[in-house]
Chains A and B, each alone.
Chain A
């Protein structure tokens, strides 16, 4: 049977895309069946994950609902990180994550927000405005898990809707930046790969060979957005309990994540 060329091309593209989206992740069951325990709701800190509309709408795993790009490593990465945060600091943190979006003002009740796969994010004007206001009022955004030149450009398209380049330049973080010393003094930083490292031995994805620790600051020099480009801290948290995933990557990811949260609560 001879398939039409268009059908072949469509099928091939879909397959490649599916590989990209899923990465090389192995299936992870949720860590807990009922992590959203109402009795554990009243705490000072709630780890918030940004749910956004991905490029291409709701097509094939992208999109706004559960299972979209925003939910990569969700919820285990969040829960494991929270366990570390609760164990290692005096932050009164809720044991499970919170999902927030930009379609209502609920995000303003969660001054720290984490977003992944941000090369796929898209915003309406209203959403971009809400995120801009969130950041200007003192909210903190951490983005993670996007790799290479194309992802960067794609990330910027969304980011620049929120914070224009002329007022809010992106700068590289140095070893001396306070954000790496709030709790842990993190000197030598290295690329933290995703779980694909276990199978491929590569610390990078796409053409993202060099980890980029970057930030956007407000007019007083305080960091509003931390950008973890060419690395995958979320995977490192998620797979920290996997014997095959190297401990130094997980440790680095935890220390960076905790420093970022601590910075967001002190600056």
Chain B
């Protein structure tokens, strides 16, 4: 039994769903950011799987761009985390309601 693209796409979907679950459910801002990284990583896996099947390297370029954006996003997000913790002494996103969300 060989591994087909369905296997990779189902794994990618599972990882994406787990990441989305973490973003929705968790209250700790740092873990929400980590779950976001997990979702990006799952989409990268789907990109690379399609790239393999279609024999086209464009998917790899997309993954490189996605990793770059993820790095920038984590840097800015963690700067926000540090500032928020210095100001509010907590990272509970239920407490952080300055934007009335």
A binds B: no
Interface residues of A (CB under 8 A from B): none
Interface residues of B (CB under 8 A from A): none
